């Protein structure tokens, strides 16, 4: 009697299914990225230098020169400014997220992850979660520096924490834009450039550093509907940093900044996560 052995062949590992499995895989990848970041502390240190310089330079060079709500007080401008600096810091982390993913792609690490039985979106989710942790640490240090130069809040602790939560939510949303850029370019250098080139107009055509009322009508409309501006305005409201007499624009996002900030961030996460995961799958098919 003869037996026939079933044909054997190489097949791709089956990814874990379900939300729980995907969450576990994402946390494993996040831990891996955090360990790698901890072994390169200069990346974190250099990431702190730019926002600290912005705080000091804007506070002491422009403080007293820009009128906010009819006041040219340096203290009024410092309190007005800080929400913009915080928002700029969390969004500029986008370039780092894109460069990190592009570096993994360039070194073939993504291909190795693909050979493992893990959820396809876990690699990107883990990376963005690790970037969120790093951004949180940066924001804590930046808040301490802001307090040293005279920034103060005038609301409850819950409202202040809610303001920082909105800032981190925006940063997490923008990290998915960075993930898509990192998957779309060939080198980490290109990802860094691609991650910054659009951030400068986004952050400066906003209410981050100057009141939008002083802009030409066309730019003022863009600034008032800018998702970045909505989060900055929401943070100022929750921190109690809007000066007395500051004219709130009539645009809906400026009238309801907290709701607008959440809506913009959620839409960006859903849209760009979908595009990034789709790009990841096609890039490694």
- The dihedral built from the CA positions of residue 139, 143, 149 and 151, taken in this order, carries a sign that is positive
β-bridge mates for residue 68, sequence order: 71
CB 203 within 8 Å of CB 91: yes
What's the pLDDT at 242?
86
What's the pLDDT at 16?
53
Phi-psi category of 155—alpha, beta or left, where left has phi over 0 and alpha has psi -120 to 50? beta
What's the pLDDT at 102?
81
CB 236 within 8 Å of CB 80: yes
Enter the pTM of the model. Answer: 0.85
What's the pLDDT at 12?
46
Which pair of tokens denotes residue 248?
């709130």
What's the pLDDT at 4?
45
What's the pLDDT at 114?
67
Q: If we measure between CA atoms, which residue out of 39, 29, 151 comes closest to residue 84?
A: 151
What's the pLDDT at 266?
97
What's the pLDDT at 192?
79
Q: Which helix (H) or strand (E) holds 164?
A: helix 157-184
Residue partners of 22: CB distance under 8 A and separation at least 6: 16, 119, 121, 122, 125
**Per-residue pLDDT of the chain in tens (285 residues, 90 and over written 9):** 444 444 444 444 555 556 777 788 888 888 887 787 777 777 777 777 877 887 888 777 776 667 676 666 777 888 888 999 999 989 988 877 788 788 777 777 666 776 667 777 788 888 889 889 889 988 998 999 889 888 899 999 999 999 999 999 999 999 999 889 988 887 888 887 887 888 888 999 999 888 888 889 999 999 999 999 999 999 999 999 988 777 888 899 999 999 999 999 999 999 999 999 888 877 655
First and final C-alpha spacing in the chain: 43
* Max Cα distance, the chain (Å): 98
**Cα distance between residue 259 and residue 252, in whole Å:** 10
* Cα distances (Å, whole numbers) of residue 110 to 33, 79, 201: 13, 43, 32
What's the pLDDT at 212?
85
Q: What are the structural domain ranges in the chain?
A: 19-283
CB 192 within 8 Å of CB 98: yes
What's the pLDDT at 18?
63
Other Cβ atoms less than 10 A from the Cβ of 65: the count is: 9
């Amino acid at each position: 009697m003869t037996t026939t052995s079933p044909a054997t062949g190489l097949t791709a590992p089956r990814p874990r299914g379900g939300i729980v499995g995907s969450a576990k895989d994402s946390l494993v990848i996040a831990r891996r990225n955090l360990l790698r970041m901890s072994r390169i502390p200069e990346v974190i240190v250099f990431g702190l230098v730019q926002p600290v310089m912005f705080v000091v330079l804007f506070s002491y060079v422009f403080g007293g020169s820009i009128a906010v709500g009819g006041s040219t007080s340096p203290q009024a401008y410092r309190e007005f400014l800080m929400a913009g600096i915080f928002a700029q810091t969390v969004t500029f982390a986008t370039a780092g997220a894109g460069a990190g993913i592009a570096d993994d792609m360039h070194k073939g690490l993504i291909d190795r992850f693909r050979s493992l039985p893990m959820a396809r979106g876990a690699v990107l989710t883990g990376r963005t979660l690790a970037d969120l942790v790093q951004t949180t640490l940066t924001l804590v240090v930046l808040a301490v520096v802001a307090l040293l130069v005279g920034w103060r809040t005038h609301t409850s602790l819950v409202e202040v924490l809610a303001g920082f939560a909105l800032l981190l939510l925006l940063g997490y949303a923008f990290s998915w834009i960075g993930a898509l850029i990192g998957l779309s370019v060939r080198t980490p250098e290109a990802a860094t450039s691609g991650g910054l080139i659009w951030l400068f107009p986004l952050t400066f055509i906003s209410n981050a550093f100057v009141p939008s009322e002083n802009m030409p009508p066309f730019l003022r409309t863009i600034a008032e509907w800018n998702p970045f501006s909505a989060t900055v305005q929401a943070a100022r409201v929750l921190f109690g940093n809007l000066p007395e007499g500051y004219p709130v624009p009539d645009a809906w996002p400026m009238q309801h900044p907290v709701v607008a900030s959440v809506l913009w961030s959620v839409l960006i996460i859903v849209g760009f996560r979908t595009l990034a995961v789709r790009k990841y799958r096609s890039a490694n098919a």
